[in-house]
Amino acid sequence: MNSATALPETSAKGISYSPCEERIVAQPAIMGNGAAGGWAALTILLPLLVVLIWALPASASSRIKDIVDFEGVRDNMLVGYGLVVGLDGTGDTLKNGQFTKQSLQAMLNRLGVKPTQAGLDSKNVAAVMVTASLPAFADRGGRVDVTVSALGDSKSLLGGTLLVTPLMGADGHVYAVAQGQVAVGGFKASGASQTVTKGVPTSARIANGGIVEREIGFKLNAMKSVKLSLRNPDFTTARRISQAINAFMGTPAAAATDPNTVKVTVPAAYRGQVVNMLTDIEQLRIEPDQLARIVIDEQSGVIVMGQNVRISTVAIAQGSLTIRITETPQVSQPGPFSQTGTTTTVPRTNIQVNQGEDKKLAVLQDGVTLQQFVNGLNALGIGPRDMITILQAVKAAGALQAEIKVM
């Protein structure tokens, strides 16, 4: 009997396929050692091999979730001011740190203690800044990690405890409260004539030290459209993303509004299920495009070149003048039992001049690839520092078809 099998619309790896009307009809293989049996088997296997090869993802393809950020799915920075107590004499000097003294006095007043100015003389308290990152869709009662950093002249936060510290957002509202034992990754020990410091003892962390007290009102499933922000803006990449989304959904729901943004209108099938739509979209694969760019860090001598860098026909010669002066003084003394003459030092100077005569003029042909360009420069024996100057000179000559970005 003849059996018909249609191509699947979606694979398990998240690669989208278009439905195909062509069907593969399996015919019974002819048993035997003759040529007819081999041709019958090849007739069945060849279409299947074509489908498998076509289904393999490109080596340079990337998932959409790795190259874009979804609107609203972002962290929010929180900051607060607090006090760390329980230090072993490594806290702020209250005579010099007025804000630490005022904060300590205000805290004690709220607790019903009214100390005098002369009574506030402790080295076990330090004023700190507390920072945290509130994740997207964090629920009330959830916990976040916090970072504690000394603000005054404290020497170390080792062994301290952070008191209740409200953490505020950019809008001035309190979104979390932090408190707990700080964990310091470094230490500092000193004696009469030597000091040993490891890491930064004035910075610490509290794992799960912040409790979320206020949620961010963002309803993702109620959105009618979602914007995708490219991490590396590019016209071609934005268009490819929109085309991949439209091909997967079967409707023109996505459109690239600029090199940085792709707007996706939520189709009727995904109304109230935006999370499902984003889950399907982020698994789609495309091949991002990139500019022909060369990034140069002159401080460290690092050079990074993009794949699309091209060079027009140009001749390059590189040489340097090196003068080496070597001093080898010698001792001159009179002969044995001589009545005249004295022992003296005679200078001997050796000067060597290298004008780079061994450097040859190399010609780079039109349209060479990045690998050929690098091989040509390496053949001249050029180091990273000289290569930076050569690249800038080739760009000034108009033969470098790429953008140079100096960090």
Name the phi and psi angles at 404, rounded to 5: -105, 125
pLDDT at 13: 37
pTM: 0.65
pLDDT at 370: 62
Cα 7 to the center of its chain, rounded Å: 39
pLDDT band, very low/low/confident/very high, at 355 (cuts 50, 70, 90): low
Mean pLDDT over 391-398 rounds to 84
In this predicted structure, the answer to whether residue 320 has a pLDDT above a threshold of 80 is no
Distance CA 264, CA 28 (A): 48
Mean pLDDT over 306-320 rounds to 73
In this predicted structure, the answer to whether residue 273 has a pLDDT above a threshold of 70 is yes
Per 3-state DSSP, what percentage of the chain is helix, strand, and coil (rounded to 5)?
A: 20, 35, 45
Nearest residue to 347 via CA among 326, 324, 325, 330:
330
State the chain's mean pLDDT as an integer.
78
Of 146-150, 204-208, 242-246, 267-271, the one with minimum mean pLDDT is 267-271
- Name the residue with tokens 């329980």: 86
Mean pLDDT over 36-52 rounds to 46
Contact 243, 230 (CB under 8 A): no
pLDDT at 48: 44
Which range in 99-103, 121-125, 219-223, 258-262 is most confidently predicted, on average pLDDT?
258-262
Distance CA 317, CA 322 (A): 16
In this predicted structure, the answer to whether residue 10 has a pLDDT above a threshold of 60 is no
pLDDT band, very low/low/confident/very high, at 354 (cuts 50, 70, 90): low
pLDDT digit string, tens, across residues 77-92: 999 999 999 998 888 8
Strands 203-212 and 143-150: antiparallel
Query: Between these two residues, 34 and 91, which has the higher pLDDT value?
Result: 91
